[in-house]
Amino acid sequence: MAGETEAELNKLLEEEEVEELEDLPLEEDDDDAEEHEMVVEAPQQPAPPAGSKKRKAEDVLVAPEPEEEGSPIAAVAEGDLTTDAKAADQDDDHEHDAPSEVVEDLVEEEGDADPAPGAATAAIPWRRDQPPSSSAAPGEGSLIRDGDLVVVYERHDRMKAHRVSRGGRVQNRYGIFEFDDWIDTVHYGGVVRAKQFPKKDAEGGGGGSKKTGGGKQGFVYVLRPSCELWSLVLPHRTQILYIADIATVVAQLRLSPGMRVLESGTGSGSLTHALYRAVAPSGEVFTFEYHELRSIKAREEFQEHGIDLKAKGERVEGEGGVWVEQRDIEQLGFPTDGELYDEGSADAVFLDLPGPWKCIPSVTRCLKVGGMVCSFSPCIEQVQKTLQVMNDEGVYYRMRTMEILLRPYEVRTERVNMLSEPGLALPQDAKAGGRPDAMRFEGQPSEPRMMAVPSVDVRGHTGYLTFAQKVKFSEKAAEQK
Amino acid sequence: MVSAEGDVVCEGDHVVLDVNNGERLVVTQVTRKTKVKLSKRGYASVMPLLGKAYGTIFEVSVDGKCLEVGTEETLSVLNGSFKIKSTERNNAKLVDDGTAQKLGHEDIERMKAQGVKSGELIDKLVANSATFQDKTEFSQEKYKRKKQKKHCVAFVLCRPCAQLLCEAYFNKSPERIRGLRVDTLSLLLSLANVAAREHVLVVEECAGLVMGSVLERLGGHGHCHSASPHLDTRAKMEALAQNVLESGQRVSWRKRMQQVQPSTDIVKFFNFEENITANATYGTLGELLEANGRAEGVTIEIGDGDKGGAREAGAEDEGEGEGEDEGGRPGKKQKTWREQRDEAGRQTKRKHLPKRATGKRTQELAQSKFTSLVLAAPSYNPETLVDRCLSLLSPSATFAIYSPWLQPLVDCKLFLHRNKLALRMQLCECFWREHQVLPERTHPQMNMTTGPTGGYILAGVASDAVLGHGGCSDLEKTAIARAAEPKSVSDGGREGGGVVGAGSSAGSQE
């Protein structure tokens, strides 16, 4: 903290606080999901089959907000930036940016789509095909490429995923950003400046500059996606698992590359990404979802992210991948016919079902000796039923149930008053800099201190995680049986 | 069901024994000489584990000297609590005056000596308890469970993994792994995006637990380099070696060389195959930074011209250095060395461990940049650590810092925020609670082995400011300068004083 005046320090933190306050009442996860969908479904696009299916799958999502002014989507597509800027401006005023988010996605997708992910790329490449130049010169490996999925980071809790494509652009409350300016020039983690910015700022009108991140020209950061970032920006089709649960599931299932994992249901695919990340590149994830459209959507998403998506019967020894099947696991159990995998060959099974106890016998058949099973349930009654059935199976050891919650902390500067003798002169700076706060007059304010406090808006419960290990008994006893 | 050969225990393998439904985790190595104390009565040879599949349940004989494969009965005894579903009785008449049990200690010992099976022993104890019949079914079950824990021991043979080793260490000697609880470790790895094909830099004081966990996640794809939080550069170590050799104190030099290397003790427990540890290296942070400075050339690195000579000299000495390293390694850890000699004599499976990074390798690592950073060295200020490590990261690399204390991470967050070095930072803690789930008896676990806190994590994404970072931090430059030239430390360092600017330290070199 050396070399920085108190005022500077406060200013730095005040900026952060202002942002946080602004955001709190407006943001909801569902809004994000909706925006993401709208992006893909923007009119004027040669509607890809993906888009049309998405609409069907998204019947749960609410229609765009009625207070939307004009049609910003159409406006941008026509290139009428003035209207668009106005829309953004409006949004800024109303502190509501839901409809202003527009990306011309997938418009000029190059035809050389190769679904096979490269051997040298990350566990999840987050793009359909190989990057244009896989043998990048040193330092160029972190450049944004055409076709990459990126996470546009506006501020600490406002992020969106976008597919970068030539000629495409993204608009948000900080302005309009053209992807051509990013491709092959901007490094991941870098700041990008808006091409056009909200009208108010352009005119030099007051009040808007603060919101644009402290300058006249708006800017955002572009991040490389990761499973954790994806779980924050993904389109919610179902309730998803959050990072603390995901981390615990992966660790307690004792996953490592090359393992075979079964999952049901696929849901929004948040955990599937993390499971595949843990077992890739040689491991296999078989994920089952009873909702047909959700499974189709998940399949598309995995393909978009360059995950090695395989079809039934496409299994190659030593070569990993993800299989997405539509199947009602509660009713039918996990397949044990050997078509997808052999019986007794799964290293781990994960269940996120309303009635997980119904399929435990099939889990037992699928699991290897020493294999782990995990069931995620929000209610304790579900856990009780599941454990009872697991116990009746007579092969599960170390059945343990746990809950895991993330406690985020916020960092702020606070002053705590010193107790002082009455009649002491009031320090000048307290009078000048402070609010008319009665407490201040009682004591002498201390130096501002960095304080961490647990965040107020925190999830108090996600679900119970139940783990168990399948064990093996004496061969002799088994024969007798 | 044993599908692959890899699923069975081989001689020399390390195994984890999950005793009595999680009561204890025992980490041991399967050799002819190893004996484990699983019950109070005696030591048992671990040789019966040889050739058995991971996941097999074992019973310890009542005398504690034999291990035999368990039956379904063994498991149902352990999981017996589930059978009792309700009770009509209450404990109103129960008086605990210590006279209820008619069998004395001698009787029990005699029965054990006679080789009575553990199940029978419990039945005898129940039959001779005056109060047992009056207890509620729940209390009866609890009584049995208590007696079981005391008199019969069962365990499941488990393959060592990050989760089991972390829990084993956390329960037994948390100070060795700096109180890093398993949920926090899991989150640390997740937030740092540790996965196959990532290049991971680890700085830890957890005796190799973090490095082992990272290697497990990499599965032989990508790189893992564990750097000790020491700024000793190769040149400095060579210079030191020269001095010491001249003075004839070879042994103490070796000791110093080992002291500055990170501990990787726990890595050996993971039974890694050669392909997993092929890309696992360790060294000092100083070496990496030195190599990084060289990789970035004349661009920003201040004083590169001045120090070029010294560094080249260091590089020339490397050949000799490698020889010394090789010679020095077997003596590194006395215990390991002895173990290895014993094993070699019996031609058991050779263990594959991370290697000390050669000068060339260090250079390559620094050049290729890391995509992921895991810091778990709480006794070092995270600001200074992360400040140095950032120059080794690629833009948008993910990092996660562990500390058992909140305050250092608070300061670190402010530091990174102020210098715009990182984005999307989150400071968090894990709340972890286990529950007992039994019919009519569901509640959070009372004996929390999980401790009051699992520690704190600061995670984030490196901004593209890391690209020029090697030259932007005066703090770092002076540190490298000092570390690189041990002899001129006194003059060079002090003249710069508190406000060491780039110019002033360069000036002092000339």
Longest CA–CA separation in chain A, Å: 92
pLDDT on residue A198: 54
Percentage of chain A modeled with pLDDT above 70: 61
Q: Would you say residue A231 has pLDDT above 80?
A: yes
Q: Crossing angle of helices B382-390/B285-295, nearest 10°?
A: 30
Whole-number Å distance between alpha carbons of A445 and A418: 6
Looking at per-residue confidence, does A121 or B464 come out higher?
B464
Whole-number Å distance between alpha carbons of A358 and A331: 7
Asked if A464 contacts A383 with a C-beta cutoff of 8 angstroms, the reply is yes
Whole-number Å distance between alpha carbons of A259 and A253: 11
pLDDT band at B349 (very low <50, low <70, confident <90, very high): low
Least confident interval from A88-102, A146-160, A428-442, B15-29: A88-102
Q: What is the pLDDT averaged over residues B100-115? A: 78
Q: What is the pLDDT averaged over residues A162-190? A: 90
Q: Is there a contact between B462 and A380 if contact means CB atoms under 8 Å apart?
A: no
Q: What is the pLDDT averaged over residues B257-274? A: 88
Whole-number Å distance between alpha carbons of B127 and A186: 78
Q: How many CA atoms lie within 13 A of B347 on its CB side?
A: 0
Q: What is the pLDDT averaged over residues B25-36? A: 93
Q: Is there a contact between B57 and A472 if contact means CB atoms under 8 Å apart?
A: yes
Tell whether omega for the bond before A265 is within 30 degrees of 0, i.e. cis: yes
> E strand or H helix at A362, and its extent?
helix A360-366
- Give the three-state DSSP class for B139: helix
Q: Would you say residue B352 has pLDDT above 90?
A: no
Structure tokens at B316: 């020339």
Q: Would you say residue A104 has pLDDT above 50?
A: no
Asked if B393 contacts B460 with a C-beta cutoff of 8 angstroms, the reply is no
- Kindly give, in sequence order, each residue whose CB lies less than 8 Å from that of residue A94, ignoring residues fewer than 6 positions away: A67
Whole-number Å distance between alpha carbons of A158 and A233: 9
Whole-number Å distance between alpha carbons of B508 and B498: 14
Structure tokens at A477: 């006893």
Structure tokens at A58: 């998204």
Question: Hey, is the C-beta of A134 within 8 angstroms of any chain B C-beta?
Answer: no
Whole-number Å distance between alpha carbons of B107 and A79: 94
pLDDT band at B487 (very low <50, low <70, confident <90, very high): very low
Q: How far apart are the first and last CA of chain A?
A: 72
Q: Where in chain A is the domain with CATH 3.40.50.150?
A: 237-399+465-480
Q: Would you say residue B361 has pLDDT above 70?
A: yes
- CB contact residues (below 8 A), chain B span 241-270, against chain A: none
Chain B residue with the nearest C-alpha to that of A370: B55
Q: Would you say residue A307 has pLDDT above 60?
A: yes
Structure tokens at B246: 């001249």
pLDDT on residue B123: 79
Q: Would you say residue A10 has pLDDT above 90?
A: no
Instruction: Provide the residue type at A281 as one letter.
Output: P
Does the domain spanning A237-399+465-480 belong to CATH 3.40.50.150? Answer: yes
- CB contact residues (below 8 A), chain B span 179-218, against chain A: 182-183, 185-187, 189-191, 193, 195-198, 216-218
Percentage of chain B modeled with pLDDT above 70: 74
pLDDT on residue A227: 92
pLDDT on residue A64: 34
Q: What is the pLDDT averaged over residues B156-185? A: 94
Structure tokens at B478: 């002076």
Q: What is the pLDDT averaged over residues A128-135? A: 60
ipTM of the shown complex: 0.80
CB crowding B269-282: b at 16 or more within 10 Å, else e: bbbbeeebbebbbb
A28 beta partners: none
Whole-number Å distance between alpha carbons of B232 and A349: 47
- Give the three-state DSSP class for B36: strand
Q: Where in chain A is the domain with CATH 3.10.330.20?
A: 6-106+141-231
Q: Of the candidates A142, A226, A250, which has its C-beta nearest B394's C-beta? A: A142
Question: Hey, is the C-beta of A48 within 8 angstroms of any chain B C-beta?
Answer: no
pLDDT band at B89 (very low <50, low <70, confident <90, very high): confident
Q: Would you say residue B136 has pLDDT above 70?
A: yes
> E strand or H helix at A77, and its extent?
helix A72-78
For chain B, domains (ranges, CATH) are 5-86+94-158 (no CATH), 174-433 (3.40.50)
Least confident interval from A124-128, B149-153, B290-294: B149-153
Q: What is the pLDDT averaged over residues A288-296? A: 95
Q: Which of A240-254, B135-149, B289-303 has the highest mean pLDDT?
A: A240-254
Average pLDDT over chain B reads: 77
Closest among B207, B450, B312 to A403, alpha carbons compared: B450
Asked if A76 contacts A104 with a C-beta cutoff of 8 angstroms, the reply is yes
Percentage of chain B modeled with pLDDT above 90: 39
Q: What is the pLDDT averaged over residues A424-453? A: 58
pLDDT on residue B145: 76
- The three-point CA angle B408-B412-B414 to 5° equals 120
Which chain B residues contact residue A404 at CB under 8 A? 183, 430-433
Least confident interval from A133-142, B57-66, B450-459: A133-142
pLDDT on residue A43: 34
Closest Cα in chain A, distance from residue B245 (Å) = 39
Closest among A426, A351, A56, A406 to A232, alpha carbons compared: A406
- CB contact residues (below 8 A), chain A span 157-216, against chain B: 159, 186-191
Q: Is there a contact between A250 and B417 if contact means CB atoms under 8 Å apart?
A: no
Instruction: Provide the residue type at B230 as one letter.
Output: H
pLDDT band at B451 (very low <50, low <70, confident <90, very high): low
Closest Cα in chain B, distance from residue A278 (Å) = 6
Which chain B residues contact residue A121 at CB under 8 A? 197
Number of neighbouring beta carbons within 10 Å of residue B34 = 15
Q: pLDDT (tens digit, 9 = 90+) per residue, B327-343?
A: 333 333 334 444 444 44
Asked if B204 contacts B215 with a C-beta cutoff of 8 angstroms, the reply is no
Structure tokens at A7: 């005022």
pLDDT band at B142 (very low <50, low <70, confident <90, very high): confident
B116, B117, B123, B126 alpha-carbon torsion, rounded to 10°: 70
Question: Hey, is the C-beta of A76 within 8 angstroms of any chain B C-beta?
Answer: no
Output the DSSP codes for A101-148: -EE--STT--S----SPPTTS-SS-SSSS--S-SSPPTTTTTB--TT-
Q: Would you say residue B140 has pLDDT above 90?
A: no
Question: Hey, is the C-beta of A453 within 8 angstroms of any chain B C-beta?
Answer: no
pLDDT on residue A345: 93
pLDDT band at B234 (very low <50, low <70, confident <90, very high): confident
Q: How far apart are the first and last CA of chain B?
A: 72
DSSP for residue A344: T
pLDDT band at B190 (very low <50, low <70, confident <90, very high): very high
- Selected for mutation to probe chain B from A156, A409, A459, A481 (highest B CB count within 10 Å) is A409
Provide the pairing of β-strand A444-445 with B42-45. Answer: unpaired
Q: Would you say residue B376 has pLDDT above 90?
A: yes
Q: Would you say residue A249 has pLDDT above 60?
A: yes
- Kindly give, in sequence order, each residue whose CB lies less than 8 Å from that of residue B484, ignoring residues fewer than 6 positions away: B233, B235, B236, B290, B307, B310, B311
Q: Would you say residue A183 has pLDDT above 60?
A: yes
Whole-number Å distance between alpha carbons of B464 and A222: 10
Q: What is the pLDDT averaged over residues B474-502? A: 43
Looking at per-residue confidence, does A220 or A198 come out higher?
A220
Q: Of the candidates A190, A246, A248, which has its C-beta nearest B464's C-beta? A: A190
DSSP for residue A358: G
pLDDT on residue B466: 79
Q: Answer positive or negative: Cα dihedral of B455, B456, B461, B462.
A: negative
Residue B437 falls in which region: left (phi positive, over 0), alpha (psi -120 to 50) or beta: beta
A468 beta partners: A373
Q: What is the pLDDT averaged over residues B64-77? A: 87
Q: pLDDT (tens digit, 9 = 90+) per residue, A364-377?
A: 999 999 999 999 99
Asked if B276 contacts B172 with a C-beta cutoff of 8 angstroms, the reply is no
Whole-number Å distance between alpha carbons of B396 and A122: 14
CA distances A40 to A35, A45, A46, A292, B124, Å, are 9, 9, 11, 20, 72
Output the DSSP codes for A214-262: SSSS-EEEEE---HHHHHHHSPPSS----HHHHHHHHHHTT--TT-EEE
Residue B497 falls in which region: left (phi positive, over 0), alpha (psi -120 to 50) or beta: left
pLDDT on residue B446: 76
Q: Which of A316-320, B122-126, B378-382 has the highest mean pLDDT?
A: B378-382
Q: Would you say residue B40 has pLDDT above 50?
A: yes
Asked if B389 contacts B203 with a C-beta cutoff of 8 angstroms, the reply is yes
Which chain B residues contact residue A407 at CB under 8 A? 428-431
pLDDT band at A42 (very low <50, low <70, confident <90, very high): very low
Asked if B419 contacts B465 with a C-beta cutoff of 8 angstroms, the reply is yes
pLDDT band at B251 (very low <50, low <70, confident <90, very high): low
Q: Of the candidates A16, A159, A404, which has its C-beta nearest B432's C-beta? A: A404
Closest among B335, B328, B336 to B252, alpha carbons compared: B328
Q: Is there a contact between A472 and B442 if contact means CB atoms under 8 Å apart?
A: no
pLDDT on residue B254: 67
- Kindly give, in sequence order, each residue whose CB lies less than 8 Å from that of residue B3, ignoring residues fewer than 6 positions away: A344, A345, A368
Question: Hey, is the C-beta of A398 within 8 angstroms of any chain B C-beta?
Answer: yes
CA distances A251 to A248, A371, B55, Å, are 5, 13, 17
pLDDT on residue A386: 96
Whole-number Å distance between alpha carbons of B79 and B87: 18
Q: Would you say residue B317 has pLDDT above 60?
A: no
CATH number at A6-106+141-231? 3.10.330.20
